[in-house]
A and B are shown apart, each in its own frame.
Chain A
Amino acid sequence: QGTQTTGANSVPLPDENLLNILSNVAPYINYIPLFANQPGLRKLVNLTIERAIQEIIGPVVERSVTIACISTKELILKDFAMEPNEEKMRNAAHIMVQNLAGSLALVTCKEPLRMSMVTHLRNLLLQNGFTESISEQAILLEVAENLDLACSIVEKSAMDKAIPEIEENLSRSFSDRKKHRERSAQPYYDMTVFSSISRYMNSLPEPLRLKPSGLLPQQLRVYEDFSRIRMTNQPAPNYEDRGGVRGNGIHRGQDIPLQYPPNEISFDNSQIITAQQNIERFTQ
């Protein structure tokens, strides 16, 4: 990777954005009673969360945003091939890419974050002489208390980074539509997409076809639905209740099993990224 080390002892600074996020998060950190009344221990917990997030966030967000953007781009280009209004297209793309990137980031980061937090907290306690008083059980509990908080930061970061990325990926399509509108009153076709779709068009039943007049509100709704609240285990999803925005909030109080099997299998050693590399990526 040709990493340039800036001297073994210098601590790389994470980017300002992340520092900002981390400081905003501080008031939401939970402490189990054992930690709550000791400022020294509270500080170690804060440091643990900070370090674990710094370690995980870079590669998880990068991968999630990349995948989300590719899928969003391909499906949007296909579905909006005859939609002349770039704002409708942009709106749908933003909603979809944020949901996909956030969902992927969250599902990917959870176990690595848990393991990283446990390791950091254990090491920090050792380094600061809390060898006897804090049990492994307490470490696991304290980590479980803050896992969702840490995850939501990674999720939020992926959702934020997905927007400029999809803007860039679709910029040509947006500007093509604008130019077309300025030049002509004819219906818009994205020819690169349309030529491959057109031969199926006549076979498609009417409501599933794209129309030269653009998409209907109920069609656009499919994309707007990406912003609905996450599915729950309730049997029948109630359409009327779908008011809320997909939560990137902070969920607390969930029961988290303490011995969830770690995900350690990795096939390609070259792709295992060390904490140091993570931080370097982050500071670039």
Chain B
Amino acid sequence: SNHLHASATIHGLPMGGDPWANATVIELTNPVERERALLELSKKREQYEDLALILWHSFGVMAALLQEIVSVYPMLSPPNLTAHLSNRVCNALALLQCVASHIETRELFLNAHIPLFLYPFLNTTSKTRPFEYLRLTSLGVIGALVKNDNTDVIQFLLSTEIIPLCLRIMETGSELSKTVAIFIVQKILLDETGLAYICQTYERFYAVGTVLSNMVNQLVETQAVRLLKHVVRCYVRLSENPRAREALRQCLPEPLRDATFSVVLKDDVNTKRYLAQLLVNLSDNVVTTN
């Protein structure tokens, strides 16, 4: 409890002492009050540093949040999710994101395999706003898990086939969803086991390479610089694997080789450097100089 109060008073209000927050967490376990409690707590979640700990360790709260998740499964196929219900489940997801972000609850959250209950949301394809919002918020939870580089998280994600779900969203999602999805893939690639996993078979490399290449071609049109940054980082990381590097020499999209993106990257020194790095890594006649 000492630790709880120490961290709480540094970064935010100590929740244990906030009657409003306590009462609202309690309301999460009551189906009649839950909807309003979800809305209010998710709005104010940033204000309470120890909210994740309270959510996890309080009786019944995680069970109640899981109930919220599975109760919308019947609306996924055929796609039939109202804006109202999407908002409600996204508020529950926002609280789960809180639990996924906190260093002291992340592992518990993973051990209980709760992220897997979000995969059916990521697997939806409807383009309507309620579904876009649902996918984006679910990706946010996974994004919060990978934010702090943690091998256990990567291991969990690799063993549960998140990559194909992310790849499809990278191809067909909204720009925001694409950005979060590629962020997750990038984090997986930056991990040693993640890179090895993706480069282990040609099929895996090809699946990732194809989606990245399609994204580059779309980016020529959209010029979305945030997305471009992630794409370049992913390519640089792939080029650090010998087999992937060999393959990329053949299949790196032309717009990354020429000056297509020089204007959009004009002020982005970092990404320009990564792009240069990528081209050096792929140059055919690498002469190792001492």
Contact A231:B54 (CB < 8 A) given known A210-B59, A266-B164: no
Task: Output the nearest chain B residue to A102 by Cβ-Cβ distance.
Answer: B70
Contacting B71 at CB < 8 Å: which of A104, A106, A230, A255? A230
B163 contacts A by Cβ under 8 Å: yes
Q: Kindly list 12 other residue pairs between chains A and B, CB separation below 8 angstroms, not including A75-B63, A204-B16.
A: A74-B112, A75-B112, A104-B117, A111-B77, A203-B53, A205-B25, A208-B58, A209-B58, A222-B64, A226-B67, A228-B31, A268-B161
Q: Mark A96-118, 1 if CB is under 8 A from B, else 0.
A: 10011001101110110000000
Contacting B31 at CB < 8 Å: which of A223, A237, A255, A266? A237
Contact A257:B63 (CB < 8 A) given known A71-B112, A230-B71, A263-B123: no
Stretch in contact with the other chain, from A32-40, A45-53, A177-185, A194-202: A194-202
Contacting B29 at CB < 8 Å: which of A104, A197, A219? A219
With A and B bound together, what is the CA distance between A131 and B274 in angstroms? Answer: 58
- Residues in A neighbouring B75, C-beta threshold 8 A: 231, 233
Q: Which B48-72 residues have C-beta < 8 A from chain A?
A: 50, 53-54, 57-64, 66-67, 70-72
Task: Output the nearest chain B residue to A233 by Cβ-Cβ distance.
Answer: B82
| Interface contact A106-B78, CB-CB below 8 Å | no
A235 contacts B by Cβ under 8 Å: yes
Q: Mark B209-245, 1 if CB is under 8 A from A, else 0.
A: 0000000000000000000000000000000000000
Q: Mark B1-40, 1 if CB is under 8 A from A, else 0.
A: 1111100000000111000001001100101100100000
- Residues in B neighbouring A110, C-beta threshold 8 A: 77
A239 contacts B by Cβ under 8 Å: yes
| Interface contact A200-B203, CB-CB below 8 Å | no
With A and B bound together, what is the CA distance between A239 and B31 in angstroms? Answer: 7
Q: Is the interface of A mostly helix, strand, loop or mixed?
A: helix
- Residues in A neighbouring B67, C-beta threshold 8 A: 99, 225-226
Contact A100:B59 (CB < 8 A) given known A208-B25, A265-B164: no
B272 contacts A by Cβ under 8 Å: no
A243 contacts B by Cβ under 8 Å: no
B85 contacts A by Cβ under 8 Å: yes
Contact A205:B22 (CB < 8 A) given known A199-B4, A235-B84, A271-B161: yes
Q: Which A212-233 residues have C-beta < 8 A from chain B?
A: 215, 219, 222-223, 225-226, 228, 230-231, 233
Task: Output the nearest chain A residue to B72 by Cβ-Cβ distance.
Answer: A231
B116 contacts A by Cβ under 8 Å: yes
